[in-house]
């Protein structure tokens, strides 16, 4: 739909650049643009929940929690991570409700779980005493992304969009962890936001295809 493309354009070509521009200048304003981008994806899911499928209220709730987390994360990492954790739990419930547990879920869990373990092991010195918190969040992210990738078994457009969104979310948080632990350039920040917004927009758009 043309209006869905318009929403995506607003997020990627207005909200994201303004967030990146104002972040070093006026952080509160930058965070407002950041959360607005996430709220655009929330609106897609909310419309789907009202007009098409009430199950999408769960996904809309997850996207709303992500929008709140986007703002809080810049000022209090623990609070922001907590809202992201709550959002992941909502999305896990939504995705699992769409499709049964399958071999695809198991394969994704093994592969992505192994990658998560390897990353945490290799970067254990940089993570240090924060490891328990990182593990809790990492496990929630893992199960959310695995449940999203499992929706590929739906064999329809919604399932494909959700699966792609799950993969992008996993990549976004990997880049975020890399930036948190090591010095990086601005390219990483653009990569984080592009993949993150891409994931949310795919989730919201998928709801409209159910």
pLDDT tens for residues 109-166?
999 999 999 999 999 999 999 999 999 999 999 999 999 999 999 999 999 999 999 9
CB-based contact 119:182 (threshold 8 Å):
no
Distance of alpha carbon 65 from the chain centroid: 11
Q: What is the mean pLDDT of residues 47-70?
A: 97
Cβ-Cβ contacts under 8 Å for 74 (sequence gap 6 or more): 27, 30, 31, 34, 80
Tokens of 152: 């590929």
* Whether the predicted pLDDT of 77 surpasses 90: no
- Answer for the pair 71, 41: CB distance below 8 angstroms, yes or no: no
Q: How much is the pLDDT for 112?
A: 97
pLDDT number for residue 82: 93
pLDDT at 1 over 80: no
| Sole residue written with tokens 């354009």 | 9
Q: Which of 139, 140, 138, 53 is nearest to 98 (CA)?
A: 53
Mean predicted confidence (pLDDT) in 41-49: 97
Q: What is the per-residue pLDDT for 131?
A: 95
Residue 104: per-residue pLDDT: 94
pLDDT of residue 185: 87
- Give the model's pLDDT for residue 122: 96
- Count of positions (residues) in the chain: 210
Number of other residues whose CB lies within 10 A of the CB of residue 185: 8
Tokens at residue 28, please? 């509160």
pLDDT, tens digit (0-9, with 9 covering 90-100), for 161-195: 999 999 999 999 999 999 999 998 889 999 999 99
Rounded Cα distance, 5 and 24, in Å? 29
| Closest residue by Cα to residue 163 from 154, 175, 150 | 150
The pLDDT assigned to 159 comes to: 96
């Amino acid at each position: 739909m043309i209006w869905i493309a318009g929403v995506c354009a607003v997020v990627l070509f207005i909200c994201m650049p303004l967030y990146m521009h104002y972040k070093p200048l006026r952080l509160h304003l930058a965070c407002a643009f950041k959360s607005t981008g996430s709220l655009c994806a929330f609106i897609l899911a909310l419309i789907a929940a009202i007009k098409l499928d009430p199950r999408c209220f769960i996904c809309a709730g997850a996207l709303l929690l992500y929008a709140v987390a986007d703002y809080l994360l810049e000022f209090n990492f623990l609070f922001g991570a907590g809202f992201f954790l709550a959002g992941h739990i909502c999305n896990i419930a939504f995705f699992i409700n769409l499709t049964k547990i399958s071999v695809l879920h198991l394969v994704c869990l093994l592969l992505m779980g192994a990658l998560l373990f390897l990353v945490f092991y290799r970067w254990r010195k940089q993570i240090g005493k924060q490891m328990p918190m990182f593990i809790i969040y990492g496990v929630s992210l893992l199960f959310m992304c695995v449940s999203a990738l499992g929706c590929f078994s739906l064999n329809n457009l919604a399932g494909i969009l959700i699966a792609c969104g799950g993969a992008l979310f996993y990549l976004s948080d990997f880049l975020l962890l890399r930036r948190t632990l090591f010095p990086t350039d601005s390219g990483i920040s653009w990569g984080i936001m592009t993949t993150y917004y891409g994931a949310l927009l795919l989730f919201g758009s998928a709801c409209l295809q159910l």
